[in-house]
Structure 1
Amino acid sequence: MKMEHGNDIDAVPFVAADISEQGNVLCFDEFQCTDVADAMILRRLLESLMSHGVVLVTTSNRHPDELYKNGIQRESFIPAINLLKARLHVINLDSPTDYRKIPRPPSGVYHTPLDSHAASHIEKWFRFLGDPENPEPHPEIQKVWGREIHVPRVSGRCAWFTFQELIGRATGAADYLELMRSYDAFIVSDIPGMTFRERDLARRFITFIDAVYESHAKLSFTTRSKTAVHQPGAKSDESVSHAMQHMMEDMGSSIDKLEESNLFSGDEERFAFVRALSRLSEMSSKEWVERGMGLEEKGGKKERDEWAKARSRQMEDSM
C-alpha cells in the first residue's frame, strides 16, 4: 500500500479490515515481539483487528506480561499487553519436557574439521537433497515484493548458499519465506563465528532457522571451524549421535550465562536463540532428514506423497 499510495498513508487499519473480511478467527502460532518497530505495529494491528470483532487464538512461549520484556520503548507496548490480558483468556500449557531434545536414532548432522573431505560431504548432501539425475548446480532468481533474490546454486528443490550470499546481504523474513515456497532443502556453507559485533547477522540467521523449521524443510550447514553434514543412511556409529546430543546439551547448560551477555539486546532475542538451538537439535534427527524423501525401500512413498501435499497446502496458505 505504501508503494502504491506513498509513505504518508497509515496502512494498518486497511490491513486489519482486509484480514477481517477474509475470516473472523485468526490463529497465530509463536506470538512474539523482538524489536521496537514490530511492537508499534503489533499494538495498533491488534487494536484494529479486535475493533472489527476478529477472534484471536494464539500460542506463545511468553506470558503477556513478559512480551517484549526489557525491549526499547517497551512502555509503548504496554497498552497491547493490557489489551491481550483484557480480551483473551490466558491458559498455561507449560511442560517441563522439551520434546525436541528427546534422544532419537543416529543424528543426521555431525561435526568434523572443515577441509576438502568435508567439502565433498557438502557435495554429497547437494546430490542427495537435490536432483540426483541432474546434480549440476544452476542459478535461479526468485522475486519478493518487486526485489530479486539471487539463488547461486540450485539442484531440484535444493538451494545452496554461502553464509555471505544468504545472510551477509540485507535479507529478512519475507525473503526467507519466499525461499521456503520455492525449495524444500537448504545448504548454507562457511558460517562464521559471530560475536556481539555481528549481532545483526546472528539475528538474521536465527530468523532463517525459524523459517526452515516452520516449513519442515531440510537444512545442512558448515562452519569455518567445523562442518555439520552427514548423509542419512551412511555408515556411522552411535558416537556421532551422542556427540551431537552432548553438544546441544552443553550449549543448553550455558544458556544461563547469556543473562549477562551483551550479544542480545533483550529477553526476546535471548529466547529466540535458545529456541533456535532446540530446533536445530530436532532438525538433526534422522527422522527429520528422511521425512518426505521417498525412500521406497523403507516404505516411504506414501509418506513422501503426504508430505508433498502438506507442503503444497502450506505454500498456498502462505500466499
Structure 2
Amino acid sequence: MPEIVHLAERSPLVSPEELLSGFHPSYRFGEVSFDTYIPDPTHPSQAGAVERLQRFAASIQGRKSKESGGLFGFLKSNKKKASSEPTGLYLDGGFGVGKTHLLASLWHAVPGPKAFGTFVEYTNLVGALSFRQTVDVLKDYTLVCIDEFELDDPGDTVLMSRLMRELADAGVRLVATSNTLPGALGEGRFAAQDFKREIQVLADQFEVLRVDGEDFRHRGLVEAPSPLPDEQLEGVLGQNFPTAGVVAEDDFEALTANLSRVHPSRYRELVKDIDVLVLHNVHTITEQAMALRFVVFADRLYDKDVPVIASGVPFDQLFTEEMMASGYMKKYFRTVSRMTALVREGQLADHS
C-alpha cells in the first residue's frame, strides 16, 4: 500500500543554499542530450537549432580549455572581440516544440559551474539571496540557462534584464527560452521582438533561434481523457500505479488554499517525494493570483513528471475564458498543455 499524504497540510521550509542547489534540469530532463531530441522532419528549424546549439556548446568548451592554459590563454579568452560567438542565444517558438529539452541538452553538454532554472526560480533566488549576492554567486558560472522567460511582468523583467547584463559583463554565457503567444503563432518572431525589447542593452548580443513545430504532447496522441467520477479515483490509482510509494491525495479547494499560503519558491520541496497526485473535485480557478500560483505548481509537477488522476472539470477548463485571453495567456496555455500530459499519464498510464 502506498503512503498517502496531503499537500494541503504541508508547509515546507527551503534555505537559500537549497534553492541554489536546485538550479539544474529537472528529473524529466535529467538525462536528455542532443541525441535524444528527435527533430520533426516537417519543421527543419528543429534540426537547425540542434546543430547551432552543438556549436555553441563547443565554443564554451573551447573557451574553458583556453582559460586553463595559463595567463596567455586566460587573457586571450577574455577578449570579447576575439570571439565570434554571441553572448547569448534565445530559443523562440511555441508550446511543446522541445525548447526545454534543447536547453537542458546544452546544459548537460558544457562544463560547470552552471545553472539551469525557470525565470520564476531566478526571481525567487534574488528574493532569497538579494540581487548583489545572486550576481556574486552566478558571475563565475560558465553558463546560465533561463527557461520560460516571462514577458508579461514589467518589474520582474527589468530585474532579470539587469541580472543578465551584469552576468554578461562578467563573461557568463546566457541562453533563454520563452513561448510565443498562442494567438501569434503565425506571426514570425513576435516573441523574439518582445524579448529583445525587454532585455534592452543586451539585445544585440543575443542570437535568435526559431524553433517551429507542433506541441509534441499532442502530436499523434489520443485526446486528453475526461475527468473520472470521484468514486473511481482510488480504483484507477490501484490499477495504474500498484507500486506507487507516496501518493498525494487532496481536495482541489484545500490544495489551492494551501498554495496561497506557501511561497512559490517552496513548491518544488512541496512535491519532491510525490509519485502520483490524486485530485478530487477540480474546478475552474476564477482569481488571477491563485491562477498564477497554480501555474508555478503545475510546472513543478511537470518537472518531476508526477502523473495526475482527477475528478471535476477537465483541465482545459481550469482557467476562465477571460484568463485564457489575457496578458498571461501563454502561462495558462502552457499549464493546460502540461496538466493534460500528466493526466494522460495518470489516467491512461500513457507515458508517450
TM-score band, normalised by the shorter chain? 0.5 to 0.7
Q: Aligned residue for 1:60?
A: 178
Query: Residue in 2 aligned with 1:19?
Result: 138
Partner secondary structure for residue 209 of structure 2: coil
TM-score of the pair, normalised by structure 1? 0.56
Match for residue 152 of structure 1? none
Give the AA of the match of 2:277.
F
Could you tell me how far 1:287 is from its partner in structure 2? 9.1
SS at match of 1:182: coil
CA contact under 8 A between 1:282 and 1:288: conserved in structure 2? Answer: no
Q: What are structure 1's unaligned runs of at least 5 residues?
A: 68-76, 113-117, 133-154, 229-247, 293-319
The answer to whether the 8 Å contact 1:28/1:57 transfers is yes
Task: Look up the match of 1:188.
Answer: 279
Matches within 5 A, 1:219-234: 219-223=308-312, 226=313
Q: 1:16 to 1:129 in 2, by over 3 A?
A: farther
The alpha carbon displacement at 1:102 in A equals 2.3
Amino acid of the structure 2 residue aligned with 1:214: D
Secondary structure in 1 aligned to 2:179?
Answer: coil
Aligned counterparts of 1:20 and 1:8: Cα–Cα separation in 2: 17
Q: CA deviation at 1:125?
A: 4.1
Q: Is the 8 A contact 1:12 1:44 kept in 2?
A: no
1:188-224 Cα deviation digits (max 9, x unpaired): 22222333xx22222222222222122222122222x
Partner of 1:74: none
Which ranges in structure 2 are unaligned for 5 or more consecutive residues? 1-14, 17-125, 181-190
Look up the SS of the partner of 1:277 in the other structure.
helix
Equivalent residue number for residue 54 of structure 2: none
Q: Output one character per residue of 1:253-287: Cα deviation in whole Å (capped at 9) or x when no partner.
A: xx9x96xx3x37953x1111122222233334359
- 2:233 alignment partner in structure 1: 122
Distance in 1, Cα, partners of 2:324 & 2:246: 34
Looking at structure 2, the residues matched to 38 and 129 of structure 1 have their Cα atoms a distance apart, in angstroms, of: 41
Match of 2:301 in 1: 212
Distance 2:152 2:342 in 1: 24
Change (3 A) 1:279 1:92: same
Match for 1:271: what amino acid? K
Aligned to 2:205: 87
Which residue identity lines up with residue 226 of structure 2 in the other structure?
A: Y
- 8 Å CA contact 2:247–2:274 kept in 1: the answer is yes
Question: What corresponds to 1:161 in structure 2?
Answer: 250
Aligned partners of 1:220 and 1:282: how far apart in 2?
11
Structure 1 distance, partners of 2:204, 2:242, is 52
TM-score with structure 2 setting the length: 0.51
1:202 maps to 291
Q: Residues of 2 paired with 1:123 and 1:9: CA distance?
A: 39
Whichever residue aligns with residue 101 of structure 1, its letter is H
Task: Give the 4+ runs in structure 1 shifted more than 6 A.
Answer: 7-10
In 2 relative to 1, CA 282–227 (structure 1 residues): closer, same or farther, beyond 3 Å?
A: closer
1:173 equivalent to 2:291? Answer: no
Alignment of 1:203-282 (within 5 A): 203-223=292-312, 226=313, 261=322, 263=323, 266-267=326-327, 269-282=328-341
Shift of 1:19: 1.8
CA–CA separation in structure 2 for the residues paired with 1:47 and 1:181: 33
Q: 1:119 corresponds to which letter in structure 2? A: D
1:222 maps to amino acid: S
> What's the counterpart of residue 302 of structure 1?
none
Query: Which of 14, 31, 51 is 2:149 aligned to?
Result: 31
Figure out how many residues of one structure are paired with residues of the other and give that number: 217
State whether residues 64 and 81 of structure 1, in contact with CA within 8 Å, keep that contact through their aligned partners in structure 2.
no
- Answering whether residue 221 of structure 2 is matched by residue 104 of structure 1, we say yes
SS of the residue aligned with 1:188?
strand
Aligned residues of 2:251 and 2:279 also touching (Cα < 8 A): yes
CA contact (8 A) 2:279 2:311 kept: yes
Q: Give the drift of 1:289.
A: 6.0
C-alpha distance in structure 2 between counterparts of 1:9 and 1:175, whole Å: 11
2:230–2:280 contact (8 Å) kept in structure 1:
no
Residue in 2 aligned with 1:240? none
